[in-house]
Structure formats: C-alpha cells, structure tokens
C-alpha cells in the first residue's frame, strides 16, 4: 500500500513524550496532597500531628511534586522513562503510607496523581511537525 492510501506514516516514538497536561496534573495533585498532609501534620488533634509517618508522607509528596515538574520538562527518552518508573514507585508507596494514616482526602489526590501518571505513561503526545 502506498502512503496516500494509508495516510501519513508516523512513528510511535516521534512524539514528545506524554500528553502535555498529564505531567502538570501530576505536579498539581502532588501539591494538593502535600498541603493536606502538611495541614494534618501541623494541626493539633488531627491524629497524626508530629508523627514520623506523616512527615515521611510529606517527603513523598514533595518528591512527587518535583518529579511532576521534571516530567513536564523532559522530552521522550531514557530520562523520561526513569522518572516515570520512579514516579510510579513513589506514587504507590506514598498512597500506601497515606492510606495507613487514614488520610482519605490526601489519598484521593494521590489517586488522581496515579491516573495522570497512567496517562503520562501510556498516551503519546502529538508527533513532531503536527499541530493540534
């Protein structure tokens, strides 16, 4: 078949990485989870005030926030794959820690983060040279 019959040929790797909004959503969801967890950590009588678990969860939220920003800036390639793998590990473990602390609002934000991470992992952006 010729190109005119099948349409233009584009490589799956020709994209610039994931859908552009997915990495931004990862960073925003991590920021929301961080704010909720920080509020629970510093508010008296929240049940997790000053605990090491809440502090560790905040560290995970900060790491996911930085990872989301880095993913938004990286083009496709090996570094992007590395940061996606690290974000998956960090996201799942931070969600586990949040659930163990009964932080349901923060857990909801992390579920949104994981859905955005799913999009960032499997949805390719537009091919080079194409316009939306």
Residue keyed to tokens 């931004």: 24
CA dihedral over 119, 122, 128, 131, signed as positive or negative: negative
| Residues counted in the chain | 132
The pTM assigned to this predicted structure is 0.80
CB atoms within 10 A of CB 48: 17
pLDDT score of 13 = 41
**List of residues 6+ apart from 49 with CB closer than 8 A:** 40, 41, 42, 43
Residues of the chain with confidence (pLDDT) below 70: 1-20, 125-132
Residue keyed to tokens 């920080």: 38
Q: For residue 15, what are the β-bridge partners?
A: 127
């Amino acid at each position: 078949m010729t190109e005119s019959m099948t349409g233009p040929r584009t490589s799956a790797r020709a994209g610039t990485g994931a859908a552009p909004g997915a990495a931004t959503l990862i960073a925003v969801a991590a920021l929301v989870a961080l704010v909720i967890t920080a509020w629970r950590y510093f508010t008296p009588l929240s049940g997790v005030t000053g605990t090491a678990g809440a502090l560790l969860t905040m560290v995970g939220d900060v790491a996911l926030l930085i990872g989301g920003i880095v993913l938004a800036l990286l083009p496709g390639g090996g570094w992007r794959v590395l940061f996606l793998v690290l974000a998956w590990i960090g996201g799942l473990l931070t969600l586990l820690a949040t659930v163990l602390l009964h932080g349901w609002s923060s857990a909801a934000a992390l579920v949104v983060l994981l859905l955005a991470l799913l999009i960032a992992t499997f949805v390719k952006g537009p091919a080079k040279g194409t316009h939306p």
